[in-house]
A = this chain, B = another copy of it.
Amino acid sequence: MQDTKERIVSLADQLIKSRGYNAFSYKDISDPLEIKNAAIHYHFPTKTDLGMAVIDVEMQHFMAGTGKLAAQPEDKQLKFLFDTFSKKHKEGLVCLMGSLSPDYDTLPEPLQDKISGLSAAILEWTTGCLERGREKGLFRFEGEASDRALLVISNLLASLLLSRVMGSKVFGRITHQLLRDLGAGK
């Protein structure tokens, strides 16, 4: 039954994005799934193994999602990124990197490396999207595309975090301003 394994990863993913890596335990997973904590250790011997699996799945989803859109115009592609974050916002979650980066120094090295890998992939993709979009006249902005991509990611990440602290309207205010700065939808 691959089913249990997938449910464990899925719940762990949600827990990381809602409460943070250091604030959830195997009990938070075993209780709702009505299994014993040892069942989780059977699939994922250590919490690090589970964390790795969560990031692997996130990476796979990202690759699959962007892969499907590769032929679309860049403004549509960028919308995919914004929609991904918008969905998390509606669920009251933050993004993986937003959740894991404050705890980064407390995480085991293999986990750190996976997180860095994921962030590099997202930055690379966003950079390419903005770069090509600007050439086509879909976006208008100054400076290096990679710097602008960093700004976009930085804002999306923080908008989810700040929504929690400052109220949910913050997400829309930040993303709206962000899109305006890119000269998108113009």
Interfacial residues of chain A within 131-169, with CB under 8 A of chain B in the complex: 142-143, 147-148, 150-151, 153-155, 157-159, 161-162, 164-166
The number of times this chain is found in the oligomer is 2
Contact of A154 with B174 at beta-carbon distance under 8 Å, contacts A22-B20, A99-B102, A161-B102 already known? yes
Instruction: Judge whether A177 and B147 touch: CB under 8 Å.
Output: yes
Interfacial residues of chain A within 90-143, with CB under 8 A of chain B in the complex: 92, 94, 97-106, 115-116, 119-120, 123, 142-143
Instruction: Judge whether B101 and A19 touch: CB under 8 Å.
Output: no
Instruction: Judge whether B150 and A173 touch: CB under 8 Å.
Output: yes
Instruction: Judge whether B142 and A151 touch: CB under 8 Å.
Output: no
CA distance A180 to B143 in the complex (A): 9
CA distance A107 to B102 in the complex (A): 15
Residue among A116, A155, A162, A170 with most chain B CB within 10 A: A162
| A11 interface residue (CB < 8 Å to B) | no
Scoring A residues 1 to 35 as 1 if CB is less than 8 Å from chain B, else 0, what string do you get?
00000000000000000111011000000000000
Q: Interface residues of A toward B: which range?
A: 35 or more
Residue ranges of A at the interface with B (Cβ–Cβ < 8 Å): 18-20, 22-23, 92, 94, 97-106, 115-116, 119-120, 123, 142-143, 147-148, 150-151, 153-155, 157-159, 161-162, 164-166, 170, 173-174, 176-178, 180-181
Kindly list 6 other residue pairs between chains A and B, CB separation below 8 angstroms, not including A150-B170, A151-B155, A155-B155.
Answer: A18-B105, A20-B22, A98-B158, A99-B102, A143-B177, A150-B173
